[in-house]
Structure 1
Amino acid sequence: MNRHAKSLAGLLPLLALLPLSGCASRPDYTLRPPASSEWVTVAVKLPAETEVLPLDVLYRSETCRRKVYDPTTESHVSTERGLNPMQMDLSPADGNGVRQIRIAFDGGTKCGWTLSGIRVGIQLAKTSVLANGKDIIPANYVFDFDDEGYSNAFGKGKPNFVSGDLMFKTEFFPMVITNNMFIETYAQLFAGNTKYEKWNRYYRLSGTKNIRIEPIVYSKKVVKLESPRNRKDSPGMTVLYPDGTTEKIRGIIPDYTKLLSMK
């Protein structure tokens, strides 16, 4: 199971343990957008040997709230907006290779669900040669539509504030990571260290009705990282760049600027 699936799987049991309050009966987790709802369209056009995962879509409700542990109160219980996470499939590709979906801002029902966040994951296709026999890690774009959204989606700071319709043409390099200690090999798409704003793909949106993602993947420019084979080897990952040069690094973040010079 990849990290994308694990994150969703870890969230669902939590929701079951924290029942919602504020609704006269069991909350309605289905969506029934009213005719007055506005919509956002997410469109994805991918190069060969890549695939898009079902979108993670998060709605929240002010009406159907959930109980949470709160050490600051006498009862140790308080409430916060209810959560309604779901997955949505994009349409089959059209004649131009574009897959898309329309997502309602107002989810309707007695809970009054409102769109809080969307996560778009792309990855090397399971059928691709590079992914064969490896665990696949998706590269995510995360979009918040309120001040909670996915709450620090990448674990590194706040989202970038942007407005209006958006087009992304991120330049990705296939990256293969071999961990000799745990005998594991991962394959992913790499586009820079997301802790830096210029490469971060986490956004807080305002007035956005269209999101289009058309990544560029340099499929022949593979970067490989390998951990030490034994304790006698020097610490750190060895990076093998597409031009044949190598270097030692701490962590698993190669030099993206160097990679861009090789495209």
Structure 2
Amino acid sequence: MPLRISVGLFVVFFSLSGCGQDYSLSPPADSEQITVTVKVPKELKTETMWVMYRSATCKSLTHGASGQRIERDGHHSVYKEFQRRGQSDLYQVKLPKDGGGACRWHLANVTFGVVYADTTEFGENVTQGGGGGVVVIFDHNNSPRGGADTEIDGDLTIKKDYYPWVSEAFLGGYRKHISLVSSGGLYLKYQALQARHVYFEPALHSDYTIYSKEPKEKKEGNHTAFTYPDRTVVADGKWHPNFLKLQTIRTGRDRDCFDVWRYANCPGRRPQLLPDWLPEPDQPGFGRYLIVDEWGNKLPSYFYRLVGENGEVFQGLTELNGRTNPLPESARALRKAEFPERVW
């Protein structure tokens, strides 16, 4: 489901005690701020953030199945748009932790996420699916999306791999969606009681799109067929792509390497210097090398130390495309290539 909030879906009929009271937010000027930052890949965009405040002072009243009165903390929703920081790919929202007002509101949870900025690249009439959502809970209550899957101490940093998923459905009318596949389902859900900074960095692997087609006829044995980036087709009765299969196709690593309990026993990424000398167009007499791991993936921010034939040392960090800094022609004849440490 898209992150857009369907108001009708979440309407709860309740009355707040004390009808003459002012239930609006009024954050004090010195309220502590919580900052949420998203690093947005160029193909994606942020969705409107749904912010929920709660109050133990202004209760909400509901009735159970047998008519009994049930009092709960009141809640108040606001919606915020992310603001771009300069010309960067960082988008940010700042929220007062203390909502103030007569109800003494406090920040309870936020729901936000990313979706494709332009769905037309996947064809006409393609609509947004789901999968890029995040829920962060700042108190001891559940969010509208349920409870947290992960509890975090201190600030929260989320870095996850995502894959495009183009799905087609036929029963009940033709539909085509573009969704995002990750390790956490439609929403990643965290409880971060002490967080003052939340950072979300989705890594989108656009070259590894997965396609699925639901059956056109409802019949025993008919299942949704998933076509993976390596062209294998799987129809095993599952409704969702296999994230670990996507990870192994992209990296070449064993599936166990993506299990947090087994990762420690997996071999590290082994850096290697490709032999090709890449001339630098804007600097005559200079060129670069490319550093990759054993599967050919470019290694950004990787420390290298190269020793030339005459003993001259060239060292630094690779750029985002895995290339070294511009090197003089004297670096073309190397005696040694070392990778002393990985910088995270």
- Is contact 2:50–2:111 with CA below 8 Å preserved after alignment? yes
- Is contact 1:33–1:108 with CA below 8 Å preserved after alignment? yes
Code of the aligned partner of 1:60: R
Code of the aligned partner of 2:62: V
Q: How many residues align?
A: 248
Counterpart secondary structure, 2:125: coil
Report what 1:136 is aligned to: 128
Task: Tell me which of 150, 159, 176 is aligned to 2:166.
Answer: 176
After TM superposition, list the pairs within 5 Å mapping 1:1-263 onto structure 2: 3-11=2-10, 13-14=11-12, 17-21=13-17, 23=18, 25-29=20-24, 31-71=25-65, 76-130=68-122, 132-138=124-130, 139-150=132-143, 153=145, 158-182=148-172, 183-192=174-183, 194=185, 201-231=188-218, 234-263=221-250
Separation in structure 2 between the aligned mates of residue 92 and residue 261 of structure 1, nearest angstrom:
34
Larger radius of gyration: 2
User: Structure 1 residues 128 and 38, CA, compared in 2 at 3 Å: closer, same or farther?
Assistant: farther
Counterpart secondary structure, 1:258: helix
Counterpart secondary structure, 1:206: coil
Code of the aligned partner of 2:44: T
- Is contact 1:58–1:149 with CA below 8 Å preserved after alignment? no
RMSD: 2.3
Report what 2:335 is aligned to: none
Counterpart secondary structure, 2:122: coil
Q: Which deviations, in whole Å up to 9, do the C-alpha atoms of 1:159-208 show, x marking residues without a partner? A: 3111112222210000011111131111111103539xxxx711111211
Report what 2:296 is aligned to: none
TM score, norm. by length of structure 2: 0.66
Separation in structure 2 between the aligned mates of residue 178 and residue 249 of structure 1, nearest angstrom:
17
Counterpart secondary structure, 2:177: strand
For residue 231 of structure 1, report the CA deviation from its aligned partner. Answer: 4.6
Counterpart secondary structure, 1:87: strand
For residue 37 of structure 1, report the CA deviation from its aligned partner. Answer: 2.0
Stretches of structure 2 that go unaligned for 5 or more consecutive residues are 251-344
Q: Report which structure shows greater RCO (CA 8 Å, sep ≥6).
A: 1
Stretches of structure 1 that go unaligned for 5 or more consecutive residues are none
